[in-house]
Chains A and B, each alone.
Chain A
Amino acid sequence: MTIAVEHYLLVGAVLFVAGVVCMAIKRNAIGVLMGVELVLNAANINFVAFARYNPLFVLEGQVMALFTIVLAAAEAAIALAIVLNFYNNHLTVDVDAAEDLKG
C-alpha cells in the first residue's frame, strides 16, 4: 500500500477534530489551549503533506508551517498570560466562570 497524501490528511483531520472536541469539552482553560495546539498541528500536517506531494508547494508549504509554529508559540504565550490574568481575577481557570457576555 502506497502512502498517499490522503492518509496524511486523514491524520490531520483526526487531530483537528480532536482539537475542536478538546476545546469544546474541557472546562480547564489550559485544556482549551491544548485543543488549540492540536488544531494548529493538524493544519501543519496538511501544509507539510501538500509540500511533499505537490512540487509547486515544496518550499511554500514548509515556510508556511514554520510561520504557523512561530505564531502558535506566540499565541500560547499570550493565551497563557490571559489565563493567568483570568485566574488572578476569578481564582479559577474554569472557562464556564467567564460568562459576563451572557445575553
Chain B
Amino acid sequence: MHDLIADPGLLYVTATVLPLVSFVLLFVGGRRWGRWGAYLACAAIIGSFVLSVVGFGIYVQTAPHHEHSQTAAASQGAGHAHAGAHSPATETTRGIQPPWSGSIYWAVVHYLGESEPAAALRLGYYVDGLTVAMFLMITLVASSIHIYSLGYMAEEQEEWVEDHQAHVRRRGRFTRFFMYLSLFCFSMLNLVLADNLFQIFISWELVGICSYLLIGYYYERRSAANAANKAFITNRVGDAGFIVGLLILWTYVGDFNVQHVFDTVRSPAVDSHGEPMPQGRQFVRVTAEVDSDGHRYYRADDQGDQVLLFRGHVHAPEKVQDTWHYEADMPTMPYWLLVVAGIGLFLGCVGKSAQFPLHVWLPDAMEGPTPVSALIHAATMVAAGVYLVGRVFPVFVPDVLLLIAYTGGLTLFVAATIAIVQTDIKRVLAYSTVSQLGYMMLALGVGGWVAGLFHLLTHAFFKALLFLCSGSVIYGCHHEQDMLRMGGLYARMKITAWTMLVGVLAIAGTPLFSGWYSKDAILVQALSFVSLNPRHFLLFLLPLLTAGITAFYMFRLWLLTFAGEPRDRHVFEHAHESPWVMTGPLVLLAFFSVVVAWGPNPFDVQGSWLEHFLHQGQPATLDHEKGYELAVVASQAATRERGGNYLARDSWLYPLFEKAALGPHDLAGALGLLVAAIGTLLALGVYYWRVLDAEEARRQFARVHAFLMEKWYFDALYSVAVVRPAGVVARACRWFDLYVIDGIVDNAARATVRLSQWDGRFDLGIVDGLVNLTADIVYAVGRSLRAVQTGLLRNYILFLAVAAVGLFALLSYLMALAG
C-alpha cells in the first residue's frame, strides 16, 4: 500500500493486469463457469475503473501548481505567451506533473563478457496526464459496455443457439465473448500504459487480434469471417509501416523508450554544461561542411539533409555569422529517413484508426456484435491510432504532420459523404466514426495536439453511447438493422430514443454537449493554421463543411429510426424496450456525453476542464517550433490564450476577421455552429417536415448517389488494384506449385516408389530367403532329432550308456593318435 502511494504508477499497472487475470481465468475455466465468468470479467474491468479513478485523484492532488498556473496564464494575456513560449521557465510555470514511470528488463542481449547490455527490450509504464485521461475513458466505457453486454449477449447463455443468418445451430459462446473482451481491455490499457514503442507495438497487435476475433465472433456467417479477414489484412498493411518506423528508430536511436527517442532526435533545452541551446526542443537539420582550415563542422540549415542526434555529451553550438556550427563528431541521421520513420509510424495509425486509404475495413467490422462495435470499433481501439500519433508527436517532422492533416481531412470528408446514403444503422455510425477519427487526425496534423486528443476522449463517450443505442434498437427489433424498415420507434423505446438523441446532439456539436467543446477546438486549430498557411485552406474548409454533413446524417439516422410513421408494421409491433442492464449503461454514457467536457462555466466553450487537464500533458516540444511550425505554435498559443486574437496580419483572411471584429476562435465556432444548424435543419426538412422529398433528391443526383452508395468505389478500386492482381499472382503461384513443385515432388515420389519396389524384391528374395533358409535348416534338424526324444526312461539310459561307450572310444582313439 505504501508503495502504491509512493509510486501510483503501480496502480495503473495493477489496473492493466486485472483484465489479463480475468482473461487467463476465463481461458482456463472456460464455459464451465457460465454467467459467473461474465461477472468475473465485469468485476475485473470495474476494478480497473476504480483504480483509474483513484489514480486520477492522486494525480490531481499531487499537481502542485495546477490551478495557479492556469489562472496565471489566463490573466497574463496574449503578450506574455509569446515571451513565455521561448523561455525555459515555461515548463515550471505550467506546472507539468513529472510522469510516473518505471520499467524492467524484458529481453536483453549482451556482448560476450560484458555486463552492460548491448541491446535491451524493456517492459515499462509511463503515466502522464494523457495516460490518466485515457485510462479513465477506456475503463469507464469498457465497464459500461461489459454490463450492457450481459443483456445484449444474453441469448448466448443457452446451450444451443440458432444463428438465423448462417442457418446453423451452434453452442452458445457467452464466456468466450467476455474472455475476448477481457483480453482486449488488457491490450488496450497496456498500449496506453507502455513507455516504449515496442511494448506499444505488442499491444497494438494484441488489440488487432482481439478485433479480429470479435469481428469474426459469428464466424459461421461468411460475411463475418470475410470482414474479420479484411480488417486483419488491412491492418497488416499499416503495421508493416509501423515496423519500418520502429526499425529506423531502433537503428539510429538504439532505444524504443518514447522519451529517449524524443530526447535523441530533438535538441535538448540546455547542453551538458547547462548552456542554453539555441535550437532547443527542435529538430536540428544540418549540412556537413569544411571551412578554409580543413576544419569539419555541421552548419545548421533548414534545408540540410542530415538531422543531428543528441546522445551522450552535448556541446552548445558555436555562433558563426548568422548561423550555428555544431561539432563534427555528433551522430546524425538522414532527414529523409526521419520522414520515412514518421510516415511509417503514421501508416500504422492509418490502419488502426481507419484513415483514408485504409478505412475500408471499419464499416465491414460492423459484422461483430454491437457491444464490440461500440467498444472496439468506435470508442477505444480505433482511437489507438490517434493516441499513438499524440504519443509520438515529437517524432513527426513538419512534412509528416502536413501529411497527417491532409489524410485526416480527406478521411473525414469522404466518410461523412458516404454516411449520408447508408441505410444500415450501424454502418452510418461506422462511417461517422471514420469521419470523426479524421477530425482527430486533422487536428493533430495542424498542431492541435490538445484538440485532437480532446476530441478523442469526448468522441469515445458519445460514440459508445450511439453504438449501444443502435444495439438496443437492433436488440429491440429482433436483429433488424435496416433503418428503412424502422420508424416511429420512439413510442416503443423511449429511453433508447432519448439517450440516442443526446448522442446525436453531442456528435453534431450542439452547445453544452461535449462534442461542442472538442469540435470547436479542432475548428479553431484548423482556422489558425489556415490563416498562416492560406495554401492549405482545404484543411479548414473540409472540417467545416463536414460539420454540417455530420449534423445532417446523424439527425437523418435518428429521425428515420424513431420519428415518423412506422414503415414496417411487423418490426414495429414486435419492437420492445431493452432490459435495464442495457438501458442503465445508456443513461450513464448519456450523462457523461454531456458533462465530460464541462468546465467551471459550461457556457464557456474554451473553459473545458478536460481540455485544460490534457493541456498539461502536451509535449514540451510544441512550444518551440519555427518556420512552418510557427503556425503550429501560433494556433497552439491561440488555444492556450483562450480567445487571444491571433492572426497573421499578412493573411488574406485578415480583412475578413477585421470586418467581423472576431478572433479566429469566435469565427470558427460561429461558422461551425451555423453549418451544423444548416445540416440539422436540412435533415429535419427532409425527414421530419417532409418539405423536401428524399426520393426526388436521389433521382436528381442519381450518379452522385450511386457514387456514394459504392463508397467512392474504394472497394471496387481495391478489388481491381489489389485483390485481383493478388488473385492473378496467387493463380500463377498455384500453377507453379501444381505443375513445377508438385511435378518435382511427384517424380521424386515415383522414383522412390520404383526404388522401393526393387528394394522390396531384394528383401523378399534374398534377405528373406536367407532368413527362411536358416529357419528351414534349423526346423529340419529339429524334426529329425525329434525322433530321439522318445520320452521313454529306459531309452534314455541306453543312450547314456551308448554315449559313454562312444566317448570312451573317441577318447582312446584320440589318445592313440596323440601317442
User: Taking the complex as a whole, does A directly touch B, i.e. does some CB pair lie under 8 Å apart?
Assistant: yes
B789 and A102 form a contact (CB under 8 A): yes
B799 to chain A, nearest CB (A): 9
A103 proximal to B (CB < 8 A): yes
- Best-surrounded residue of B791, B793, B800 (most CB of chain A within 10 A): B793
Question: What is the 8 Å Cβ interface bit string for chain A, positions 67-103, against chain B (1 contact, 0 not)?
Answer: 0000000000000000000000000000110111111
A7 proximal to B (CB < 8 A): no
B793 and A32 form a contact (CB under 8 A): yes
Kindly report which residue of chain B lies nearest to residue A17, judged by CB atoms. B801
Kindly report which residue of chain B lies nearest to residue A25, judged by CB atoms. B794
A103 and B787 form a contact (CB under 8 A): yes
A24 proximal to B (CB < 8 A): yes
| Cβ-defined partner of B791 (8 Å) among A23, A32, A102 | A102
B798 and A96 form a contact (CB under 8 A): no
B793 to chain A, nearest CB (A): 5
Report whether over half of chain B's contact residues are helix, strand or loop; otherwise say mixed. helix
A24 and B797 form a contact (CB under 8 A): yes
A96 vs B800: C-alpha distance in the bound complex, in angstroms? 17
Chain B residues with Cβ under 8 A from A95's Cβ? 792-794
- Best-surrounded residue of B786, B788, B789, B791 (most CB of chain A within 10 A): B791
Kindly report which residue of chain B lies nearest to residue A32, judged by CB atoms. B793
B112 to chain A, nearest CB (A): 76
B321 proximal to A (CB < 8 A): no
A24 vs B799: C-alpha distance in the bound complex, in angstroms? 9
Question: What is the 8 Å Cβ interface bit string for chain B, positions 700-736, against chain A (1 contact, 0 not)?
Answer: 0000000000000000000000000000000000000
| Cβ-defined partner of B789 (8 Å) among A24, A27, A103 | A103
A30 proximal to B (CB < 8 A): no
A58 vs B793: C-alpha distance in the bound complex, in angstroms? 37
B790 proximal to A (CB < 8 A): yes
B801 and A100 form a contact (CB under 8 A): no
B794 and A96 form a contact (CB under 8 A): yes
A34 proximal to B (CB < 8 A): no
A26 vs B274: C-alpha distance in the bound complex, in angstroms? 128
A42 vs B790: C-alpha distance in the bound complex, in angstroms? 29
Kindly report which residue of chain A lies nearest to residue B800, judged by CB atoms. A20
B801 and A24 form a contact (CB under 8 A): yes
B801 and A101 form a contact (CB under 8 A): no
A24 vs B790: C-alpha distance in the bound complex, in angstroms? 14
Q: Assuming the A-B contacts A20-B801, A24-B798, A24-B801, are A98 and B788 also in contact, with contact meaning beta carbons closer than 8 angstroms in the complex?
A: no
B793 and A98 form a contact (CB under 8 A): yes
B794 and A101 form a contact (CB under 8 A): no
Chain A residues with Cβ under 8 A from B794's Cβ? 23-27, 32, 95-96
| Cβ-defined partner of A103 (8 Å) among B786, B793, B798 | B786
Interface residues of B in 444-469 (CB under 8 A from A): none
A26 vs B789: C-alpha distance in the bound complex, in angstroms? 19
| Cβ-defined partner of B797 (8 Å) among A23, A27, A98 | A23
**Chain B interface residues (CB < 8 Å from chain A):** 785-794, 797-798, 800-801
Which 4 residue pairs are nearest across A and B when measured between Cβ atoms?
Answer: A103-B789, A102-B791, A99-B791, A101-B791
